[in-house]
């Protein structure tokens, strides 16, 4: 039976063409109808994320096809795990991912803002304004908003000797996360990790030197920052020492096994003598490899590949502790931290290529046999590892995502040490400035400017709604205070402190993150407003 919903006919020249079933009832949306359909799809996704915005935002539980459960309020994670089929919905997923890749924070806010812009665009289309004029107006308004952000931004002190201002920004980032029960501790860990690997003169942070490792068990409060490398491995033999001081480490990417011919071959062992000869050859090769490692002065071998029990036993006899099956990224991190070289052949091993570490030891967890290995006091101790603990895998994963956001924000501040105030304060200030500019425009773009100003209000509105406040009243009150005083630090009091000043509450956001949100959301909306039809490449319908 054919799976194709139609039949094939032939014209007078014998060329086949397809007759689709129910073709008279099939519709294709084009023009304004298609635009409204796209806007509706995008707004539905934005509204799903809207309830996760802010410190009082709600988490989403996502269940994969395999039954794995994820609980998170990270916008990029939610969208990535949602099974979205609509083409415009997929664009929003990419929008959130772009924000995550570039900044690491603000993934929910950028989608909510895009949803607000599309909502205003739908209203303007209903009033008869052409989508291209709306898109151009939004772009001009975005440019004005970014310029206003630069005006209200404040310079931020970034210093390794005084990390407190950075900790306050990390606290703002972590305020909306599930791990805010150990809020201060996590913020300090994130800041200390970034400062440990940051080059403040070059304003650069090498993220590859920060490793996030999770282990189920214990409490969130047991999360620690290790100045060194933690790997989820143990010594290859249970009788090898669990602690090594002043270790000289050989970092190997060659396996402990006899060399094999690279051609297809067949080996016939016909008698006991030949078998003994083969066995002796293997033993000699193993011993030769171990001797080369010992001769170089290594007291610990870390191998990317495995080795069999015979080689393992020989390593134990020769008093050479070893770790096997260490992954590529970990191998590179160990090499950077210990100052060692990755060696691809035993013959190339020499004392200069060994890494050094003050302490290598195994960590044991709880009543289970779970163990990890920590390499501390490295020769070049720039590499750090955050070891995240938690009661279950779901909590550990969410804590890792939250810490990643905080690390990214601290990095952004080192690269561009300017901040704006959170709680919707920056959006309200930009909204007032753009609405004022709209009154001075004589062209049709003034409507798009007012629409952009109203779209910016969606962020403080969502914050107020999620905090259980009367959203319109809270927004009206804050806008009134900002308009009268010109104080761009007045925002929504989500934590009910009785003070609307985000300066006093230390609710601070990176200027770089906020600018990126405005620019990305506007670019996406402009792209959507220029799409009036969607068709597959092989679609021949008119």
Catalytic residue positions, numbered: 74, 107-108, 405
| Dist CA 257 CA 306 (whole Å) | 9
| Dist CA 9 CA 522 (whole Å) | 48
Contact residues for 225 (Cβ-Cβ < 8 A; gap 6+): 189, 192, 193, 384, 385, 386, 387
Between strands 322-323 and 508-510, the pairing is unpaired
**Dihedral Cα 209, 215, 219, 225, nearest 10 deg:** -20
Q: Please, is 241 exposed, middle or buried when counting C-beta atoms within 10 Å of its C-beta (0-12, 13-18, 19+)?
A: middle
The distance of Cα 369 from the centroid of its chain, to the nearest Å, equals 31
Largest CA distance in the chain: 100
| Dist CA 350 CA 249 (whole Å) | 11
| Dist CA 75 CA 52 (whole Å) | 8
CB 215 within 8 A of CB 400: no
Contact residues for 63 (Cβ-Cβ < 8 A; gap 6+): 69, 70
| Dist CA 100 CA 114 (whole Å) | 15
| Dist CA 159 CA 175 (whole Å) | 23
Backbone angles phi, psi at 227, to 5 degrees: -80, 85
DSSP structure class, residue 415:
H
CB 79 within 8 A of CB 98: no
Bridge partners for 231 per DSSP:
373
Task: Compute the residue count for the chain.
Answer: 542
The distance of Cα 147 from the centroid of its chain, to the nearest Å, equals 28
Half-sphere CA count of 68, side-chain side, radius 13 A: 8
| Dist CA 429 CA 152 (whole Å) | 8
Backbone angles phi, psi at 169, to 5 degrees: -70, -40
Determine the 3-state secondary structure of 467 from DSSP. Answer: coil
| Dist CA 108 CA 392 (whole Å) | 25
DSSP structure class, residue 26:
-
Determine the 3-state secondary structure of 390 from DSSP. Answer: strand
| Dist CA 140 CA 133 (whole Å) | 11
Contact residues for 24 (Cβ-Cβ < 8 A; gap 6+): none
């Amino acid at each position: 039976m054919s799976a194709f919903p139609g039949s094939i006919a032939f014209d007078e020249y014998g060329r086949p063409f397809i007759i689709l079933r129910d073709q008279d009832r099939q519709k294709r949306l084009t023009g304004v109808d298609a635009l409204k359909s796209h806007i509706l799809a995008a707004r539905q996704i934005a509204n799903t994320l809207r309830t996760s915005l802010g410190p009082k935002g709600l988490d989403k539980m996502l269940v994969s096809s395999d039954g794995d459960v994820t609980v998170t309020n990270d916008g990029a994670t939610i969208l990535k795990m949602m099974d979205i089929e609509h083409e415009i919905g997929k664009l929003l997923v990419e929008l959130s991912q772009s924000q995550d890749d570039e900044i690491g924070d603000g993934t929910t806010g950028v989608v909510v803002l895009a949803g607000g812009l599309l909502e205003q665009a739908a209203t303007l289309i209903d009033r008869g304004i052409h989508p291209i004029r709306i898109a151009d107006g939004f772009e001009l308004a975005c440019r004005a908003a970014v310029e206003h952000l630069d005006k209200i931004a404040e310079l931020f002190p970034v210093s390794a000797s005084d990390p407190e201002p950075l900790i306050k920004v990390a606290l703002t980032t972590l305020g909306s996360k599930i791990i805010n029960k150990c809020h201060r501790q996590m913020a300090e860990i994130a800041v200390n990790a970034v400062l440990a690997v940051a080059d403040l003169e070059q304003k650069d942070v090498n993220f590859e030197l920060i490793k996030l490792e999770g282990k189920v068990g214990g409490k969130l409060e047991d999360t620690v920052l290790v100045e060194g490398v933690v790997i989820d491995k143990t010594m290859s033999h249970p009788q090898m020492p669990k602690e090594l001081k002043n270790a000289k480490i050989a970092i190997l990417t060659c396996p402990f096994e006899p060399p094999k011919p690279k051609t297809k071959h067949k080996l016939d062992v016909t008698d006991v003598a030949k078998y003994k000869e083969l066995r002796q050859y293997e033993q000699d090769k193993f011993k030769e490899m171990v001797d080369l490692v010992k001769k170089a002065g290594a007291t610990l071998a870390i191998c990317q590949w495995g080795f069999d029990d015979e080689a393992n036993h020989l390593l134990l006899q020769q008093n050479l502790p070893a770790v096997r099956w260490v992954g590529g990224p970990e191998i590179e991190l160990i090499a950077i931290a210990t100052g060692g070289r990755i060696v691809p052949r035993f013959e190339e091993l020499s004392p200069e290529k060994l890494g050094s570490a003050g302490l290598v030891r195994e960590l044991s967890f709880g009543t289970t046999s779970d163990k990890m290995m920590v390499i501390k006091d490295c020769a070049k101790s720039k590499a750090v590892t955050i070891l995240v603990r938690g009661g279950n895998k779901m909590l550990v994963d969410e804590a890792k995502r939250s810490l990643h956001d905080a690390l990214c924000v601290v990095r952004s501040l080192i690269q561009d040490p300017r901040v704006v105030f959170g709680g919707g304060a920056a959006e309200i200030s930009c909204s007032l400035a753009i609405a004022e500019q709209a009154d001075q425009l004589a062209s049709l773009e003034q409507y798009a400017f007012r629409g952009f100003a109203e779209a910016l209000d969606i962020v403080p509105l969502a914050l107020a709604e999620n905090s259980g406040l009367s959203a319109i009243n809270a927004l009206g009150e804050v806008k009134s205070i900002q308009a009268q005083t010109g104080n761009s630090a007045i925002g929504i009091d989500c934590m009910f402190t009785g003070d609307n000043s985000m300066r006093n509450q230390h609710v601070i956001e990176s200027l770089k993150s906020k600018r990126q949100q405005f620019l990305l959301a506007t670019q996406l909306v402009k792209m959507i407003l220029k799409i009036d039809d969607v068709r597959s490449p092989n679609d021949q319908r008119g």
